[in-house]
Structure 1
Amino acid sequence: MDNNNERIKGVIFDWAGTVIDYGCFAPMHAFLESFDKAGVPITNREAREPMGMLKWDHIQAILQMDRVRGQWIDKYGTEPVKEDIDRLYSDFESTLMESLKAYTDPIPGALETISLLREAGIVIGSTTGYTKGMMDVIVPEARRKGYSPDFMIASDEVKAGRPYPYMIFRNMTELGIFPPASVMKVGDTVSDIYEGKNAGVWTVAIISGSSELGLTQSEVEMMDAGALKARMDETRKSFEKAGADFIINSISQLPAVIKELELSGLARELR
């Protein structure tokens, strides 16, 4: 086998909660507001649970939750249908588009980490639960702040978004990275991990700054050490249950994970 297959050639990052937007807060208030407007308020946890999916699918997933579905039936006397999801999505999208620019700051350590990967000859791809229209707002702002992957694709530019692997396959095609064992998917949600596993690539989940952890940077800095550890342990368990190959506290630990993987020879295993 070509020894070149024993190294990681490409890393495909998620966007919000992974590289930008610490805690992935841009979509949160939009989800909460759209359901409030519909008269069926949802909790932060309910809003976050499907995070990483195409946003229309995300709203559908919320409506399928037992408590939310029950509240909807109590209010409207009928099961939620496609037209209801369409209306909720329209409200969500208009609210989100107004605020996206404000949620494009790089997560601490992200730019430095990506620079190190590029110095090692690794190409940088990306996938997202956002639509192309949303990314048209985000990409120029992120570029201005120092982040621009070698390739990006939005969830509505493929046949189906996460957990399907099609965005990763497009990255691999456009960036010319193969086999799957030489590719790594890095994200902050369970959907990211499922996406990577379905594509047959290595998966890395990040705890700090993640949607799964659901805390702002200031909340993390001010939280009691014991309480923070408990929250991080709970997040780690979610990623373990999803089957992540590696779970790291911070994006800054990613180069060490890649080095460990390459030195172990595991990258040669075409899973």
Structure 2
Amino acid sequence: MTDNTPHRTTSAKLIVLDMAGTTVADGGLVERAFERAAERLGVEPGSADHTAKLQYVRDTMGESKISVFRHLFGAEDLAQRANSAFEEAYGELVQGGLIAPLPGARETIEKLRAEGRTVVLTTGFARITQDAILDALGWQGLADLTLCPADAGGRGRPYPDMVLAAFLRTGAVADVRESVVVGDTAYDMLSGVRAGAGIVAGVLTGAHDGATLREHGATHVLASVADLPAALEPQREPGA
């Protein structure tokens, strides 16, 4: 007997979405905030040290920011100072209105939740910055849950901790393979793969290109998060 019912690789009931570059367009604010923070710590603009540090920030988009600053500044006290200065600078830019939702992002989240899916927004920023972004966009309460690295033990991406925290806290699915992880960076892809998510989708609205996303484990590459609901529609098996 032929099974004519639609099939999908996962029930996709838990959707874990990155923010900056995936659902939120920050217009290069990460780099601008880093430059402000670095200057406050005495890194001279235009110097070789400044150029090298800025390139590292670009290369590690998606990683927990405190981890980035630990690598750049070494000593924990300097890393914490740099992180605090960065978060303050980023918050100032957000309050200045220099942030916006990516086209279709809000509608996508609303559609996914209307379909009975649980949506979690994650970030590599600290909670104070995440809340500033949510407030600026009017997104408080838009998702079922929001998580930052501190909410999941302190480790951000590429560790799987935030995805697993979403799995544990929401209880939305019985199997982590029923989770979907979506982001714009290699670190997002790695965190989804390491967590065991059934779908790890990269979007082309942020830091990394399709080849990089696939290289780090993307099962799907989408033009934007607005394409996610269609990608999760049940697909018939060939010949069904």
How much has 1:4 moved relative to structure 2? 11
Give TM-score scaled by structure 2 length.
Answer: 0.81
How much has 1:110 moved relative to structure 2? 1.1
Alignment of 1:71-220 (within 5 A): 80-101=74-95, 102-142=97-137, 144=138, 148-159=142-153, 160-178=155-173, 179-201=175-197, 202-208=199-205, 210-212=206-208
1:34 matched to 2:29: no
Identity of aligned residues (%): 25
**Corresponding residue for 1:66?**
none
5+ residue gaps, structure 2? 1-6
Moved over 6 A (4+): none
Q: How many equivalent pairs are there?
A: 221
**Corresponding residue for 1:255?**
229
Does structure 1 retain, via aligned residues, the 8 Å contact 2:10–2:179? no
How much has 1:189 moved relative to structure 2? 1.2
Partners of 2:119 and 2:56 lie apart in 1 by 31
Tell me which protein shows more strand as a share of its residues.
2
Relative to structure 1, is the Cα distance of residues 169 and 48 closer, same or farther in structure 2, using a 3 angstrom cutoff? same
Does structure 2 retain, via aligned residues, the 8 Å contact 1:106–1:145? no
How much has 1:87 moved relative to structure 2? 3.3
- Describe the superposition over 1:78-123 as per-residue Cα deviations: whole angstroms up to 9, x where unpaired: x843333233223322212212232442101112222322232211
How much has 1:240 moved relative to structure 2? 1.4
Aligned to 1:152, what secondary structure does the other structure show? strand
Tell me which protein shows more helix as a share of its residues.
1
Provide the alpha-carbon RMSD of the alignment.
2.6
Does structure 2 retain, via aligned residues, the 8 Å contact 1:51–1:58? no
Does structure 2 retain, via aligned residues, the 8 Å contact 1:196–1:203? yes
Relative to structure 1, is the Cα distance of residues 99 and 244 closer, same or farther in structure 2, using a 3 angstrom cutoff? same
- Describe the superposition over 1:170-221 as per-residue Cα deviations: whole angstroms up to 9, x where unpaired: 211222122112110111111111111111002111002x133xxxxxxxxx
